[in-house]
């Protein structure tokens, strides 16, 4: 059976246009600093707009203390977390900064942050998987979490 050349041309053009539209929909977002995001099981957390990494005073053998991770610049904006430790156990992870410039950034944060937080609490380390569809946010979260853990001495 012989196909018509015009039909192949139309199909090729349609495939090319579809590919270009898909590529253009993946354009990078502008960077923006967010308000605090938090673990849904916690109360309000303070906003840390560009805060310097810090650790509160407390005993390493049983006291409760908080440690801020580094602010990690990602393709879509900064990511920073704060961990709360009781002794050497991570009891909470609070997101201080996450990209939120537009609706897509907010959507990514809403579905990825709770997953990342639960994984960090379960693993008690930064050795967690990235969330599919939120690779840059996940990598920033993991790097900031690791820096907080390094700073905590645990």
Averaged pLDDT in 10-residue chunks for the chain of 154 residues: 74 80 58 37 36 41 86 95 93 94 92 95 94 94 96 81
CATH, residue 123 = 3.90.1010.20
Give burial (CB, 10 Å; 0-12/13-18/19+) of 129: exposed
Q: Which two tokens stand for residue 62?
A: 């049983």
In a domain, 11, yes or no: no
| Predicted pLDDT at 147 | 96
Count structural domains, the chain. Answer: 1
The answer as to whether 30 is a domain residue is: no
CA distance 135 to 75: 10
pLDDT at 35: 35
Label residue 29 exposed, middle or buried (CB < 10 Å: 0-12, 13-18, 19+): middle
pTM > 0.75: yes or no: no
Joined tokens for residue 74: 């990602």
Tell me whether residue 43 is in a domain. Answer: no
* 70 part of a folded domain: yes
Give domain status of residue 87, yes or no: yes
- What pLDDT, on a 0 to 100 scale, did the predictor assign at position 54? 43
Which domain, by its residues, includes 96? 64-152
Domain contains 85:
yes
Do the domain assignments include residue 7?
no
* Pairing, β 72-74 against β 77-86: antiparallel
Whether residue 146 is contained in a domain is answered as: yes
In the chain, which ranges are continuous DSSP H helix?
Answer: 5-24, 103-123, 135-152
């Amino acid at each position: 059976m012989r196909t018509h050349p015009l039909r192949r041309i139309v199909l090729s053009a349609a495939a090319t246009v579809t590919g270009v539209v898909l590529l253009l929909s993946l354009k990078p977002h502008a960077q923006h600093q967010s308000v605090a995001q938090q673990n849904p099981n916690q109360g309000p957390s303070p906003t840390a707009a560009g805060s310097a990494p810090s650790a509160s005073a407390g005993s390493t053998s049983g006291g409760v203390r908080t440690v801020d991770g580094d602010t990690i610049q990602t393709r879509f904006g900064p990511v920073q977390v704060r961990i709360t430790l009781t002794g050497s156990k991570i009891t909470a992870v609070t997101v201080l900064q996450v990209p939120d410039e537009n609706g897509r950034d907010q959507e990514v944060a809403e579905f990825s942050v709770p997953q990342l937080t639960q994984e960090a609490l379960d693993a008690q380390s930064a050795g967690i998987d990235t969330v599919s569809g939120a690779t840059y946010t996940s990598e920033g979260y993991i790097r900031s979490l690791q820096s907080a853990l390094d700073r905590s001495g645990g």
